[in-house]
């Protein structure tokens, strides 16, 4: 098992550009989520999904879109990047909504 | 109001000694879970230990144990026999009512631990 994988590891964008952060897991986990970590802080939930075709907003969803067309993949889309979205982004998954979440290695995003 | 509070921004510990990392939480939900994650300088988030609100015994995982004091709403992490590789940021996190908002974790601000040889 590769676990939770994220691509890219690093990305630099200009304000207004769009991009998609990729997240995949090969553990047949139902639950997947995206968090962001700002310097010196804990993680905050952006969006989550409890299964294919079902997504919902977390604590800080503005500026981000998600979809879940398959169990394995949960991409995060930034439609028009802003400097405030400079952060480290983590994807996580768990077997169910009541299980321990396991995190991917993270994507470090800088928006200039 | 903060739901997870870690009051120690940073601490030093001597190699082979034990260290306790403080975590207090706030919830009115009777069913919740408490987690500790380790974040080394490489950046990944590593799950360490879990305690459920209804668990009667304190959780243990190898050198990690969780001192769960429900009445005080505290869930302190104890690392025994510290090793140089334990130098990292440690986050306490809480999950409330799994059915309501998926598996949302609320994180504390973290404690940085540096192990001295």
Give the model's pLDDT for residue B96. 81
Give the model's pLDDT for residue B99. 58
Give the model's pLDDT for residue B1. 56
Q: What is the dihedral of CA B113, A89, A62, B34, to 10 degrees?
A: -50
Instruction: Verify whether the Cβ–Cβ distance A42 to B91 is below 8 Å.
Output: yes
Residue whose token pair is 């994988």: A5
Helix (H) or strand (E) holding B30: none
Q: For chain A, what is the total number of helices (H) and then of strands (E)?
A: 0, 11
- Selecting from B91, B98, B105 the residue whose C-beta is nearest the C-beta of A98 gives B98
What residues in chain B have per-residue pLDDT under 70?
1-2, 98-102
Give the model's pLDDT for residue A41. 82
Closest residue of chain B to A38, computed from CA coordinates: B109
**How many CB pairs below 8 Å do chains A and B form together?**
68
Instruction: Verify whether the Cβ–Cβ distance B50 to A108 is below 8 Å.
Output: no
**Strands (E) located in B1-117:** 4-5, 10-14, 19-21, 24-25, 32-39, 46-52, 60-61, 64-69, 74-79, 88-96, 105-107, 111-116
Residue A46 is encoded by which pair of tokens?
A: 């952006």
Each residue of A30-85: pLDDT tens digit? 999 999 999 878 899 999 999 999 999 999 999 999 999 999 999 999 999 999 99
Radius of gyration of chain A (CA): 13
Give the model's pLDDT for residue A31. 93
Give the model's pLDDT for residue A64. 97
Each residue of A2-26: pLDDT tens digit? 799 999 999 999 999 999 999 999 9
Residue A95: is its pLDDT beyond 80? yes
């Amino acid at each position: 098992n590769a676990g939770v994988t994220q691509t890219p590891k690093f990305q630099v964008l200009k304000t207004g550009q769009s991009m998609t952060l990729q997240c995949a897991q090969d553990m047949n986990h139902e639950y997947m989520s995206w968090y962001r970590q700002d310097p010196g802080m804990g993680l905050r939930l952006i969006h989550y999904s409890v299964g294919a075709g079902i997504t919902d907003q977390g604590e800080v969803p503005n500026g981000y879109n998600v979809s879940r067309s398959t169990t394995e993949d949960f991409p995060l889309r930034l439609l028009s990047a802003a400097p405030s979205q400079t952060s480290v982004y983590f994807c996580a998954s768990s077997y169910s909504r009541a299980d321990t979440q396991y995190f991917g290695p993270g994507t470090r995003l800088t928006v200039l | 109001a903060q739901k997870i509070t870690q009051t120690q921004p940073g601490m030093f510990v001597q190699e082979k000694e034990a260290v306790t990392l403080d975590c207090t939480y706030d919830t009115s939900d009777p069913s919740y879970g408490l987690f500790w994650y380790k974040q080394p300088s490489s950046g990944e988030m590593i799950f360490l230990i879990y305690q459920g609100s209804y668990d009667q015994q304190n959780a243990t995982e190898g050198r990690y144990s969780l001192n769960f004091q429900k009445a005080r709403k505290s869930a302190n992490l104890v690392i025994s026999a510290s090793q140089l590789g334990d130098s990292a940021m440690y986050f306490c996190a809480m999950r409330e009512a799994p059915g309501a908002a998926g598996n949302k974790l609320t994180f504390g601000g973290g404690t940085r631990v540096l192990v001295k040889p």
